[in-house]
Structure 1
Amino acid sequence: MATKKKEITKDDIISVYMNEVLEAGKKPVSVFHFAKGKDFSEAEFYNFFGTLEGLEKEIFRLFFANTIDLLHRNTEYTEYDMKNKMLSFYFTFFEILTANRSYVIQVLKSDPNPIRNLTQLSTLRDGFKGYVAEILTDEYRLEQERFQKFQEKTIQESAWVQLMLTLKFWMDDASPAFEKTDIFIEKSVNASFELMKVAPMNHLLDLGKFLFKEKIYSR
């Protein structure tokens, strides 16, 4: 009796891809070359991914999704303020990256053009910006509603830039247990939240409204 072929899953293909990149020291040149000699066909690959680039984006999306899952397993997490939620995200996310460091370093340095390397982070970027919007609290939100949408987009974009700077620092970090990255995370997140304090900005907006009214009604 013929042995039934094992059903291939998305996770199986991702695992095989990551191992191949690490063992070969480079990415496969095509789906055909990647699927050749594997336990799945090219057609089966397309059941889950449209391209190799789509697979790469999914890997970083999973790093993000697993981070969020681990955060919510901590029953105390929901009680954290925004800054501590962000710190928790950073430490958990980079712990996951560290567990996959060889792969991350390989694929983010594979192309001489850094922009091409960063394209595989697009789904991570979308997820992270959504996360920042989700944890944003009134403590860091401007009182004037008409400025809030612009402010929220600015916070999301600046948070993404900070994450990318931290990623670059981590990739270059040669300290034991990447302890310098931990210090960088603490200092950079603390500094960014100091800059995000909206009380001075609210005062400036109030002053602006006052001066505007004075100019209008003094005519």
Structure 2
Amino acid sequence: MKNTEVTQEKILDIYSKYVLRNNKKPLNVFTFCDEHELDESQFYFFYANFDQLEADYLKYFMNQSILLISKEEDYEGDDAKTKMLSFYYTFFEQLTMNRSLVIYLIGSDKNNLDHLKKLCTLKKEFQSFIKTLAISQPLMESQNENMAKIERFKNKGIEELYWGHFLTTLKFWIEDTSSNFEKTDIFIEKSVDTSFELFEIKPLKKLVDLGKFLFNEKIKNNS
């Protein structure tokens, strides 16, 4: 395979088979490449190290899930909650098909998921997806600087809340021992429904509206 074109997907495939057979990372990039007849330069063209490569798996599963649901005929017309449910079901179906690999990647740290470096890239991808759902309030050009700061704070809060929900669902799936992971499906349905009632527009919008009211009253009183 040396001196032939090697794709990113090929390296991911070779690496996944290695860690599942050995239950550990290769000793170093040199031994990994030598064993699989790769040039080190071919590996380093895509990744700086094994940690970066492992993080790419999770991002890959997420991107594939978003791509799949976006191709559904009614996706564009679906509301935010329906899109969220479609994403969760598709994403965890992807994980289930690759459960052994995912458990290897994050299973041993299941009680500290939010501290895993390999989830940083995943978090960025997930929060970008949340923004596409238009759950956050768009910033209007007419808003003054203080109102814009309130909106940005609210939007960031929504993204962090949903990221926390995502991590909770991931932890639930890791620990799920039910047949065909049916309890995870139930958890997704109930928790997403609840999250849209607790996290979403009504309570947060009321809080922001109250902030705007108090800010405007302060301006009036000081004028």
| Common fold by TM > 0.5 | yes
| 1:29/1:116 CA distance change after superposition, 3 Å | farther
- SS of 1:109 mapped into structure 2: helix
The question of whether the paired residues in 2 share the 8 Å contact of 1:77 and 1:85 is answered with: yes
2:187 pairs with 171, 184, 189, which one?
Answer: 184
Structure 1 runs, 4 residues or longer, greater than 6 Å off: 140-144
Higher deviation after alignment, 95-104 or 207-216? 207-216
**1:174 & 1:66 partners in 2: Cα distance?**
25
Q: Which runs of 5+ in 1 are unaligned?
A: none
User: Does the alignment pair 1:213 with 2:211?
Assistant: no
Shift of 1:112: 9.4
Change (3 A) 1:74 1:212: closer
Q: Deviations over 1:157-177 (max 9, x none)?
A: 111111111001000000000
Residue 163, structure 1, aligned to residue 166, structure 2:
yes
| TM-score, L = length of structure 1 | 0.85
Instruction: Judge conservation of contact 1:110–1:117 (CA < 8 Å) in 2.
Output: no
Deviations along 1:77-127, one digit per CA (max 9) or x if unpaired, are: 111101111111100000000111000001213569946972112111101
**CA gap 1:5/1:44 in 2 versus in 1, 3 angstroms:** closer
Equivalent runs, 1:17-32 vs 2, <5 Å: 17-32=15-30
8 Å CA contact 2:151–2:208 kept in 1: the answer is no
Choose which of 66, 69, 77 in structure 1 pairs with 2:67: 69
CA contact (8 A) 2:158 2:200 kept: no
Task: Return the letter of the residue paired with 2:19.
Answer: V
Contact 1:109 1:117 in 2 (8 A): no
Q: Which residue identity is paired with 1:28? A: P
Which of 95, 101, 104 aligns to 1:103? It is 101
Query: Contact conserved, 2:110 with 2:171, CA < 8 A, in 1?
Result: no
Deviation track 1:119-142 (CA, whole Å, cap 9, x = no partner) reads: 11211110100110111247x779
Residues 36-63 of structure 1 deviation map (CA, whole Å, 9 limit, x = unaligned) = 2103122221121111111111111111
Go from structure 1 to structure 2 and tell me whether the alpha carbon gap of 1:6 and 1:48 turns closer, same or farther (over 3 Å shift): same
Distance apart, 1:66 and its partner CA = 0.4
- The CA RMSD measured in Å over matched residues stands at 3.1
Distance 2:174 2:6 in 1: 33
- Count of aligned pairs between the two proteins: 216
Q: 1:217 to 1:95 in 2, by over 3 A?
A: same
Percent sequence identity is 39
Aligned position for 2:45: 47
